[in-house]
Every structure is written in C-alpha cells, then in structure tokens.
Amino acid sequence: MFESFSSVDSSRTTPTEWLLARIAGREQAAAIMGDLEELSATRSKSWFWTTYARTLITLGWRTPVAFLIAMVSMRFIFRTLILLLMIHRTSRLSDASLSDMLSTHARIVLYNCLINAARFLVFALPFVVVRFGLRNRLTQLTCALLLIAVPVYTLRPLVMDLSGILIVVAVVAALLTPLWRKPLIVLAATCTTAMAAIVTYFFVLVGVFHQNIITVSESKRIYEAIGFALAAIVCVTMHHLLLQQPPASDRTIA
C-alpha cells in the first residue's frame, strides 16, 4: 500500500513516511511504516489512517506542547521577575546622569544585544526543558546562559558589564569544548531565527510600508509568536541533526 524506507529505491518516500520521519527519525519511521503496512493488509484504510494519526500525536506531542508552555512561561516571567528587576532598576538609576548610563555608542549596542539574548533565552529554556528534558546538554547550556543573562534587566551598568563578560567567557568555553560546541550551535541557531524573524517583520512594516510604529506594536505579539514558532522548528531540526545519536550503521529494515 505504502512504499517504505526499506524499499530498493530508498530515495523515494511517500508524504506519510516523510512526515513520520521528521518526528521519529528515519529508522524508527521505517519500522513503524513497515508494521502499519503489514497490519493494514488485513484491515481497512480507515484503520491505517487512524493508527497513523494516533502515532503522529503520540510521538509528536512534545513539540507543540513545549512551544505553548514556553510562550506562557515567557509572559509570566516578564510580568513577574523581569518586571521586578526593571522596577528595581528605575529606583536605582533615577539619580544617575545620562552620560553615566549611556557612556558610549558601543556600550549601548552591547546592552541591546544582551537584553535581546536574555529575552530569547527566556523562551528557549522552558521549550527545551519540556521538549528534551532536564538531562539534555542543550537544556543545561540554555539554563546556564539564562542565569548569566537575566541580571542585564537591572540595567545597572556594572551588572550588565559583568553579565556580558561572563556570557562571552561561557560562549568561548563552549566553543572550545567538543561536548558543548554542538549544543551551543543549536541554541545560537534557535535564538538567531527568532530574532531575525521579528526584526524582519518590523523592518518590512516600518521601513518598507512606512506603517506607524504604534500600529506595528499592536500586532507585535502575533508576529513574535510566529518568530518563536520558527525558532522552535529550527531548534528541533538542529537538535535532530547535531545532537541525536546517529544510527550504528546504514542498514535498512527489511
């Protein structure tokens, strides 16, 4: 009924096999499709599609659930912890001069990068915790970087400078360590995707279509969700390519 990965021409796959492979991996998808084909020979087509759909849900529920939890957690964190840090910042910096807070253009750019990095890490951490678990190296790296980055929301120059230095040290150390290099690449791709999607949205609407920034901000949540959804897809894909254990051999399931 359906051509499997174990067929002679392994480059030909049906959409059902392709979709299942995106969730379960090539070898496991081949095994599942083989079992479904064998059992469907004595059953109806409706049984096949019902079982196939149930298999997709069983194997693929973690990604959409992780995304929803990450979005909700991000809103909660920004309305509680981040808000408290910013209130604390306002009271502490009220007497500081503008030249003290914004001494150089380079420092402003650095602070903006740190704040944006912390923002995307706030989304990434709950997502990878639910999707991959606490013992996953990507989760552990994300947690460590978030703990270092969150203090930037105090907007106190000394704290932000220290946070920036520690982030640079952590990133360089991860790049130099084979055990953490691939998780860092996955995390960087995830955060970069979200940032690029949101920045592109603002550039197109404000720079190209000349829409008012206030009007753009009203629909910001929708396009942020789209950007984070793309980031989640990139995260799962990169994790599958770089961090999941490859099969022991290229043997096929007969």
Same domain, 183 and 99: yes
For residues 148 and 33, membership in a common domain is answered with: no
* Same domain (yes/no): 33, 71: no
Position 5 in a domain: no
Q: Between residues 252 and 34, which one has the greater pLDDT?
A: 34
Query: CA-CA distance, 145 to 150, in Å (whole number)?
Result: 9
**pLDDT reading at 176 higher than 90:** yes
- The distance between the two most distant Cα atoms of the chain, rounded to a whole number of Å, is 80
DSSP secondary structure, 145-196, as one string: HHHHHGGGGG--HHHHHHHHHHHHHHHHHHHH-HHHHHHHHHHHHHHHHHHH
205 in the same domain as 135? yes
Amino acid (1-letter code) at residue 211: Q
Question: What's the CA gap between 4 and 32, in Å, rounded?
Answer: 9
Q: Tell me, what's the pLDDT at 235?
A: 93
| Confidence bin at 188 (pLDDT 50/70/90) | very high
pLDDT at residue 218 in the model: 57
Is residue 7 in a domain? Answer: no
Q: Which of 60, 92, 114 is the last residue of a domain?
A: 60
Question: Looking at the structure, do residues 51 and 92 belong to the same domain, yes or no?
Answer: no
Q: What is the pLDDT of residue 219?
A: 63
Average pLDDT over residues 111-137: 90
Give domain status of residue 159, yes or no. yes
Q: If you average pLDDT over every residue of the chain, what do you get?
A: 77
- pLDDT at residue 209 above 70? no
Mean per-residue pLDDT, 86-94? 52
pLDDT tens-digit readout, 45-83: 888 888 888 887 777 788 889 999 999 998 888 888 777
Whether residue 54 is found in the same domain as residue 69: no
126 in a structural domain:
yes
Share of the chain above pLDDT 90, in %: 27
Tokens of 43: 């059953």
pTM of the full predicted structure? 0.72
Q: Are both 160 and 214 inside the same structural domain?
A: yes
Report the sign of the C-alpha dihedral through residues 36, 40, 42, 43, in that order.
positive
Domain boundary (37, 60, 83) is at 60
Domain containing 68: what range?
62-242
The answer to whether residues 72 and 56 belong to one domain is no
The count of structural domains within the chain is: 2
Kindly report the length of the chain: 254
Question: Which residue in this structure is represented by tokens 């509680």?
Answer: 80
What is the pLDDT confidence band of residue 181, given thresholds at 50, 70 and 90? very high
Q: Has residue 148 been placed in a domain?
A: yes
Q: Examine the domain organization and report whether 66 and 44 are in the same domain.
A: no
Residues 6+ apart with CB under 8 A from 198: 223, 224, 227
Please give the distance of CA 32 from its chain centroid, rounded to a whole number. 28
Please give the pLDDT value at position 137: 94
Query: What's the pLDDT band for 206 if we cut at 50, 70, 90?
Result: low
Write down the pLDDT at residue 45: 81
- Same domain for 114 and 32, yes or no, is no
**Residues 176 and 56 grouped into a single domain:** no
Please tell me the distance from the alpha carbon of residue 149 to that of residue 151, in angstroms, as a whole number.
6
Count the alpha carbons within 13 Å of 30 in the hemisphere toward its beta carbon: 17
Is 162 contained in some domain?
Answer: yes
pLDDT digits (tens, 9 = 90+) for 145-173: 999 998 888 888 888 888 889 999 999 99
